[in-house]
A and B are shown apart, each in its own frame.
Chain A
Amino acid sequence: MLEINAVFHRTQETPWNTIDNEAVVLNLDNGHYYVLNETGRRVWELLDGERTIGQIAALICEEYEAQEQQAQTDIVKLLEEMLSEGLVASGVK
């Protein structure tokens, strides 16, 4: 389980693009691509290597009127998938 104070950043070489408020992210290692819905796209944008999971969850709650606990759970789940795919890395950028 990831710590709420942990910081993550998008790996530098991962290409991505925003379209219709969603994001398409490419994994260069396996050629797979991922489509993130609007909130997923916003989380992706906020993974700047400065904000903690908790801070990102708080921002998502502000912008999308979500419950903070649910937002944290969803973000942790998303980050675990992204970590296993090598799309994000832990720590300050």
Chain B
Amino acid sequence: MTAFPKQFPAGLPVKPETLLVQHYQFHGLELIIHSNEADLLSILHNSLKYFTGQNPVSSLPQIHLVFLISDLGQFPQPLATDAKPVSFSGELQYFIDNQLLYTVILGKSLVMCHLSEGWALGYIKPALLENEWIIFQLIFYPVLAELLKQHHIFNVHAALVANQEGQAILLSAPTGRGKSTSMVHLVRNGYKFLSDDISLVKKGAEGLTLLGLPQPVNLLPDAIANFPELGFLQAVKKRCTRSKRSFRIEEVYPDSLETQAVPAWIVFPQVQAKLDTALLPLSKSEALSNLIPQSLVVANRAIVREHLDILAQLVQDCECYCLRLGKAAGEMIPKLFGELTSK
């Protein structure tokens, strides 16, 4: 059994020893996820599979995340009814009380995390289990991201690939701008895959390192049509024919996974179908301006400055471009990036 952290709040509606536990070795940290629901662990495992660890590694700093499928009424330290959020970010509201950060998700789930102790406790309404995207992207990852910041690991909302020399290309854009499609064009042409949507950056003695989170890749049917080898996904039935289809990149492109790379290029894809596909140089201040709204969430004000500094250094360390996705993108992307990375 894995012991809970000493400061974990009392008053849990279940006995800790009855919870299911999953361990992950995640970029130099031990993630220990506890839950009363096997389906929840299974959803999280789908994105964390690559980091599976058998046993706790005592030398690694630990992060405990406890997620209970339960009613919010049983939460041991409820938010004051008159509490005011410190910030909003889309579907999330953040409240902070000293070292305790509360995240309210869609008004239906609540996660409390102790920033310096390195643990989180979340209560998730049972109905949300039906939506894997909400569980990982809205409930699990935002809280993990805040705890990772305490270890000087910061979020970059971008797909991430690397060339054979370990030099990274970050592809950053809001959803629907061609980030994943560009990434798949590169991976099928020999680039290594690190992330489809969530990348991380860490500052070490030798500079910045980009870290991957190789989740399943999601593509719209229109994008899948660009890749004959992904034709099997068109047969996957969805309630909506426009829904994204999901696949694991290593199952289609063997030996493509990598975990970390050195920052070299940041590229912002933008669809402009009527023009030629081209890589256009971008000033560093424009690149930073594009990166901030994608990557920087103001939840814990105490650490925003460090996040901004890291993003600025990342931009300084990289050549920055806009990728205009237009005519013959499938042929042009490997050619343009081949020329770029061989300079």
A and B associate: yes
- A residues with CB within 8 A of B: 13, 15-20, 22, 24, 26, 28, 31, 33, 35
One of B285, B298, B305, B315 near A31 (C-beta < 8 A): B298
- In the complex the two chains form, what is the Cα distance from A68 to B297 in whole Å? 39
Are B312 and A17 interface neighbours, CB within 8 A? yes
B89 CB within 8 Å of chain A: yes
- In the complex the two chains form, what is the Cα distance from A17 to B285 in whole Å? 10
Write the nearest CB–CB distance from B145 to chain A, whole angstroms.
15
B289 CB within 8 Å of chain A: yes
One of B283, B284, B285, B308 near A15 (C-beta < 8 A): B308
Are B301 and A28 interface neighbours, CB within 8 A? yes
**A to B CB contacts below 8 Å, 26 in the list:** A15-B308, A16-B308, A17-B309, A18-B312, A19-B288, A19-B312, A20-B283, A20-B284, A20-B285, A24-B288, A24-B289, A24-B292, A24-B312, A26-B292, A26-B296, A26-B298, A26-B304, A26-B308, A28-B87, A28-B304, A31-B87, A31-B88, A31-B89, A33-B289, A33-B292, A35-B289
Q: Which 7 A-B pairs have the closest CB atoms?
A: A15-B305, A17-B312, A22-B285, A20-B284, A15-B308, A19-B284, A20-B285
Write the nearest CB–CB distance from B90 to chain A, whole angstroms.
11
Residues in chain A near residue B296, CB distance under 8 A: 26
- B residues with CB within 8 A of A: 87-89, 283-285, 288-289, 292-293, 296-298, 301, 304-305, 308-309, 312, 315-316
One of B89, B285, B298 near A35 (C-beta < 8 A): B285
- In the complex the two chains form, what is the Cα distance from A15 to B296 in whole Å? 12
- In the complex the two chains form, what is the Cα distance from A33 to B292 in whole Å? 8
In the complex, the chain A residue whose C-beta lies closest to that of B310 is: A17
Write the nearest CB–CB distance from A48 to chain B, whole angstroms.
18
- In the complex the two chains form, what is the Cα distance from A64 to B231 in whole Å? 60
Write the nearest CB–CB distance from A34 to chain B, whole angstroms.
9
- In the complex the two chains form, what is the Cα distance from A15 to B89 in whole Å? 18
- In the complex the two chains form, what is the Cα distance from A13 to B305 in whole Å? 9
Are B285 and A19 interface neighbours, CB within 8 A? yes
Of the listed residues B87, B292, B293, B315, the one surrounded by the most CB atoms of chain A closer than 10 A to its CB is: B292
In the complex, the chain B residue whose C-beta lies closest to that of A37 is: B285
Of the listed residues B283, B297, B304, the one surrounded by the most CB atoms of chain A closer than 10 A to its CB is: B304
In the complex, the chain B residue whose C-beta lies closest to that of A22 is: B285
In the complex, the chain A residue whose C-beta lies closest to that of B285 is: A22
Are B87 and A24 interface neighbours, CB within 8 A? no
Residues in chain A near residue B315, CB distance under 8 A: 19
Residues in chain B near residue A22, CB distance under 8 A: 285
- In the complex the two chains form, what is the Cα distance from A13 to B304 in whole Å? 10
- In the complex the two chains form, what is the Cα distance from A22 to B312 in whole Å? 12
Residues in chain A near residue B293, CB distance under 8 A: 33
Residues in chain A near residue B285, CB distance under 8 A: 19-20, 22, 24, 35
Assuming the A-B contacts A31-B89, A35-B289, are A24 and B301 also in contact, with contact meaning beta carbons closer than 8 angstroms in the complex? no
Write the nearest CB–CB distance from A27 to chain B, whole angstroms.
9
Residues in chain A near residue B289, CB distance under 8 A: 24, 33, 35
- In the complex the two chains form, what is the Cα distance from A66 to B281 in whole Å? 30
Residues in chain B near residue A33, CB distance under 8 A: 289, 292-293
- In the complex the two chains form, what is the Cα distance from A24 to B284 in whole Å? 11
Write the nearest CB–CB distance from A15 to chain B, whole angstroms.
4
Residues in chain A near residue B316, CB distance under 8 A: 19
Write the nearest CB–CB distance from A87 to chain B, whole angstroms.
14
- In the complex the two chains form, what is the Cα distance from A48 to B284 in whole Å? 26
| Known A16-B308, A28-B301, A31-B298; further 18 A-B contacts with Cβ < 8 A | A15-B305, A15-B308, A18-B312, A19-B284, A19-B312, A22-B285, A24-B285, A24-B289, A24-B308, A26-B292, A26-B296, A28-B298, A31-B87, A31-B88, A31-B297, A33-B293, A35-B285, A35-B289
